[in-house]
Structure 1
Amino acid sequence: MSNPHDPALHLLVDDHHVRNLLSMKRVFGKAKKDPEPVLTDIPGRRISWGCVLTEQGKHRLWYQSIVPQNCHDLAKAGVWGRGDEYGFFPDRHPDAVPEWQTAMVSYAESGDGITWTRPDDLGLIEWQGSKANNIVLDGSIAVKQYDGAITDMGCPSVVRDDSAPPEERYKLFAFWGSVHSHDGKVGLDRSEADLQRFWDASAKYVMTSPDGIHWHGPVKRIKEHAGGGDYSGVTRDHRNKRWWYNDRARQGLWGPTYIRTAGLCTSERLDNWPEHVEQVFPLGEAEDFGAAYEHHGMAPFNYGDQDLGYLELSIKGRPQASLLVSHHDGERWQRVDGCPPVIECGPSGTSDSMIVNATRNAPLLIGDEMVIVYNGHRESNDDSRLHEGYMYVARLRRDGFAGMAVDQVAAARHGRPALLQTQPVTVTADTLALNIEGHGGTARAALFDEAAEPIDGFGLDDCLPIDEDNVRAEVHWRGADVLRLKGRRVVVLVESRTGVIWSFRL
């Protein structure tokens, strides 16, 4: 199971590694969705936000498990009390659930990233009279600790902290709030003091576990709201040995009007986050300045020698698509120009037609493919007031977000093969490997020094045949070995009459 963070791997999603092109154009890979969900929740619940950690030879998924009913309907019925009355009154609604079980965290595993299983024998949390389920956390600890001020969580992220004591090795970050926060809007006659107490308690919290299964208190308040809303996510920046917190940024253009914007901050430590959260992308013309789409949030991750991420576009708080974004150290995050959504809602009637959002992690590298695990929702076929939520996967070629393809029209006009010349890179690998396809045996490669002067023995005419379709097609030259160039800065030149180059590793 490979780690996408690879300092020797260079992508072609933008021009950062491109010096010159002749008769080449950027093309984009298209993720192909598997037609059926790969994971469903236990009866009476649906799957929402999630994250995947790859460790111990398997992929581990934690996801938010929520009830299909609208919690405002349950509150309005008085399931959790009215006025000064607080408690659980199940006789007031046929679908009543305790306030601390409207949102829970559940667990699943996979050996290949495609086939997922629920360990329904954990025996930790009772649901509908049984502990035979995969639930690892509900809100009961938080309700008791904060005297009912927080009851349920959203957008959970689980990370492994190898610097922590063994009993705190895993950390779960989430937004915690109260089902009572909106009681004033549904006529429950709550006191202003109570409502303010609920809102004041809403924040980002963390819990710890020795194994990711057994979670214990306390529920520790770790971060205040940056820009409002219940968005939350923590991911590891392996390259810089830091952590990212994906949050919402405060926007300053619309006055009191709330518009979602993607925000990001970083920290060396998981227990010390900056107050300021940078707004990563402007809400521009494509979003009609927030009127058509909002930026629901983003999920960053390392890939190759850079960072990528999914920027979520939402309408009325429902994520509809994830766009590819790119970042290099010392530069700003940028949307990848011309790239279609990595994933987007399916057609009306399909089981991911209402909401889609990728899990908070890099794609899983499975053989020659990238596997994107994502959550999809639709309205229930039986009752439009109910929502269904599942986990799905989408697949595309490894490194295949974007590549450089031979432009046949331009090549014919120039009367010669197409060329890709890279910016100088430092040789850290034992060989040059191209992620290349469709070149029909016409691809050749050469190496030059930083001044674009040929390096003896590494010319195009010295290049041996390159595999036709290979995500790591090794390039060799007669009588010359890349090992002797380790540590040097070199320019790569690839010549081809047809095909696509998705990445190079050197």
Structure 2
Amino acid sequence: MTKSTRRDFLQATTTAVALIRLSGIAHARTQDNAVDIGSRRELFVDQYLIDKLNGARQKLHRPQLAPPVSPPRPHGHYATVLFNGDKYQFYYRGDKDPKVTWKTHGIEAYHDGEVTLYAESKDAIHWTLPKLGLFEHESFPDGNIVLMDEFLVTHNFTPFIDTKPGIPAHERYKALGGLAFQPHQTAVRDKRGPGGLKAFVSPDGVHWKKLREEAVVPEQWGKYFDSQNYGFWSESEQRYVCHFRRFIKGYRGIARTTSEDFVNWTEPVEMPANLPNEHLYTSCTQPYYRAPHIYVATPTRFMAKRGAATDILFMTTRGGDSYDRTFTESFIRPGLGASGWANRANYAAIGIHETSPTEMSMFLTHGRRYTMRIDGFASVNAPLAGGELITKPLKFSGKQLEINFSTSAAGMVRVELQDPSGKALTGFSLDDCDPIYGDALSRVVKWKGNSNVAALAGNPLRLRCAMEDADLFSLRFA
């Protein structure tokens, strides 16, 4: 790459990031221009609360690869991991005959050979393959087929647990699956019927039936749905949301549609998120379980001109038609060895789950599990020399401020409460704050031993966080 070409590329990347951010979050502001966070947990994965960073920066924290287990974890493309309160449920794609591909046998034989497989676990670390007795096939002697002979649907069958209040028990689980036919596939379409995303429901995530015969997300919206198209009930938006594959300006990208009943969906809206030369092969956009108003996304980035190399990115959205890409670097790299650099080798499963009191896990193809600190996607980070975070004016409800933080042995965090103009509130200045050091998922901030901030609830204020060799991951008023 020449210097001028590289300069043009970097300028295009910088411009794209700026546009993505500017189109970003619709802040929940009050009449006095304060962001109303109530008692919600807020993570520093975007600039939603940040007004200024002085000597500090936002830092992405890469997940760590967990050791393998025996027997190996299940794995397959377009996987989904759910937790129903009692057990973890793993859905992934299998092939009746891996030698039958669309290149060698055509798309009809290829998709007829796809099945959806199922595994269970009590800890999301050690998995069993239950003999379900639903479908039998010699390639799967364990009998863990949960869906078979659903043409196109089993290519990317993607379930979720419906948290909408009042949902009938027999529809507790829902799923979407399907493809759109490409222009050269009309003969198969004429024979098998139109594509699109079809809806399924289940009482237990094992016994599934179609919600209706026709697709609920029409074929013409996708190009060509050959990704993982995930729907979920949004607590913050009070509707179902689905992010799905759509080509945007010649690159694989992401579009969004919403529904109030899971049957009738709004016209799709494209969500610009691609930086120059990158395809977003999946979106993996899902509500974060400790802050469901924040949707975290771990898409697979596909570099077509680099041997179809892939890695995992980290993005967020708070609803609406845009993503925040504060972090443009890779979240999970392909890694050492040739296997991670093979054609389409890296896909993250949907589902980020708490697997110990201090860690959460995400799952990748080839049976890999990666771990992170709870809330630990990103932080505001300051060096030992010190740095500060000053928030936008905000309002809260609650009696005390809790933070998720980590310091070195020499580091610390202090918090000052200010009025919107930046003046310290009496009794809550930086000098009043008891120094906070250590490492905790939840530590209550105190000022000369006092943690009660109830008298300030509902009034606009700012937080000034002075940090030394420290990371601040999240905060909430409780």
TM-score range, shorter chain: 0.7 to 0.9
Contact 1:446 / 1:463 at 8 angstroms: preserved in 2? yes
CA distance in 1, matches of 2:140, 2:189: 36
1:393/1:329 CA distance change after superposition, 3 Å = same
Structure 1 residue aligned with 2:15: none
Q: Would you say 1:327 and 2:317 are equivalent positions? A: yes
Q: Would you say 1:49 and 2:37 are equivalent positions? A: no
Give deviations 1:190-218, integer Å, cap 9, x for gaps: xx7x4341575222111222211112345
CA distance in 2, matches of 1:215, 1:332: 33
TM-score, length-scaled by structure 1:
0.74
Structure 2 residue aligned with 1:443: 413
Structure 2 residue aligned with 1:154: 155
Structure 1 residue aligned with 2:133: 123
Matching residue's letter, 1:227: G
Give the C-alpha shift of residue 394 in structure 1: 0.7
Give the C-alpha shift of residue 29 in structure 1: 0.6
Matching residue's letter, 2:99: Q
Structure 1 residue aligned with 2:330: 341
Matching residue's letter, 1:278: V
Contact 1:346 / 1:353 at 8 angstroms: preserved in 2? no
CA distance in 1, matches of 2:382, 2:64: 23
Structure 2 residue aligned with 1:145: none
Structure 1 residue aligned with 2:176: 173
Q: How does 1:213-362 map to 2 (within 5 A)?
A: 213-217=206-210, 219-225=213-219, 226-229=221-224, 230-231=226-227, 232-251=229-248, 253=249, 259-274=251-266, 276-281=267-272, 283-285=274-276, 287=277, 293-303=278-288, 304=291, 305-316=293-304, 320-328=310-318, 332-338=322-328, 340-350=329-339, 353-354=342-343, 355-362=345-352
SS in 1 for 2:370: strand
Contact 2:445 / 2:451 at 8 angstroms: preserved in 1? no
Contact 2:245 / 2:282 at 8 angstroms: preserved in 1? yes
Structure 1 residue aligned with 2:93: 64
SS in 2 for 1:321: strand
Contact 1:247 / 1:277 at 8 angstroms: preserved in 2? no
Give the C-alpha shift of residue 236 in structure 1: 3.3
CA distance in 2, matches of 1:53, 1:363: 8
Q: Would you say 1:432 and 2:401 are equivalent positions? A: yes
Structure 1 residue aligned with 2:147: 137
CA distance in 1, matches of 2:320, 2:423: 28
Contact 1:281 / 1:333 at 8 angstroms: preserved in 2? yes
Structure 2 residue aligned with 1:387: none
SS in 1 for 2:431: helix
Structure 1 residue aligned with 2:197: 204
1:131/1:113 CA distance change after superposition, 3 Å = closer
Matching residue's letter, 1:157: T
Bigger Cα displacement from structure 2, 264-273 vs 329-338: 329-338
Matching residue's letter, 1:29: H
TM-score, length-scaled by structure 2:
0.78
Matching residue's letter, 1:56: G
Give the C-alpha shift of residue 8 in structure 1: 1.9
Structure 2 residue aligned with 1:20: 52
Aligned-residue CA RMSD (Å):
3.4
Q: Would you say 1:30 and 2:27 are equivalent positions? A: no
1:38/1:60 CA distance change after superposition, 3 Å = farther
Structure 2 residue aligned with 1:195: 188
1:266/1:490 CA distance change after superposition, 3 Å = same
CA distance in 1, matches of 2:222, 2:69: 33
CA distance in 1, matches of 2:387, 2:73: 51
CA distance in 1, matches of 2:69, 2:196: 32
1:438/1:272 CA distance change after superposition, 3 Å = same
CA distance in 2, matches of 1:299, 1:348: 25
Give deviations 1:33-73, integer Å, cap 9, x for gaps: 1243787588xxx6221212222233222222234324236
Q: Which runs of 5+ in 1 are unaligned?
A: 81-97, 143-149, 186-191, 288-292, 377-389, 412-416
CA distance in 2, matches of 1:495, 1:17: 15
CA distance in 1, matches of 2:179, 2:246: 18
Contact 1:107 / 1:136 at 8 angstroms: preserved in 2? yes
1:448/1:30 CA distance change after superposition, 3 Å = same
Contact 1:347 / 1:353 at 8 angstroms: preserved in 2? no
CA distance in 1, matches of 2:102, 2:327: 40
Structure 1 residue aligned with 2:26: none
Structure 1 residue aligned with 2:5: none
Give the C-alpha shift of residue 27 in structure 1: 2.0
Contact 2:393 / 2:462 at 8 angstroms: preserved in 1? yes
CA distance in 1, matches of 2:294, 2:312: 19
Matching residue's letter, 1:269: D
Matching residue's letter, 2:216: I
CA distance in 2, matches of 1:306, 1:268: 20
Contact 1:58 / 1:110 at 8 angstroms: preserved in 2? yes
Matching residue's letter, 1:438: T
- Among the aligned pairs, what percent are the same residue? 21
Q: How does 1:37-116 map to 2 (within 5 A)?
A: 40=72, 47-66=76-95, 67-72=97-102, 75=105, 100=112, 102-116=113-127
**Structure number with bigger Rg:** 1
Q: How many residues align?
A: 426
Structure 1 residue aligned with 2:371: 395
Matching residue's letter, 2:244: D
Give the C-alpha shift of residue 138 in structure 1: 0.5
1:473/1:480 CA distance change after superposition, 3 Å = closer
Give deviations 1:245-273, integer Å, cap 9, x for gaps: 1212353x45xxxx422222222221111
Contact 2:400 / 2:451 at 8 angstroms: preserved in 1? no
Contact 2:361 / 2:372 at 8 angstroms: preserved in 1? yes
Give the C-alpha shift of residue 175 in structure 1: 1.0
CA distance in 1, matches of 2:421, 2:38: 26
Give the C-alpha shift of residue 298 in structure 1: 0.9
SS in 1 for 2:462: strand
SS in 1 for 2:155: strand
CA distance in 2, matches of 1:27, 1:430: 29
Give deviations 1:410-430, integer Å, cap 9, x for gaps: x4xxxxx43221122322344
Structure 2 residue aligned with 1:147: none
CA distance in 1, matches of 2:104, 2:320: 49
Structure 1 residue aligned with 2:474: 503
CA distance in 2, matches of 1:498, 1:308: 27
SS in 2 for 1:201: coil
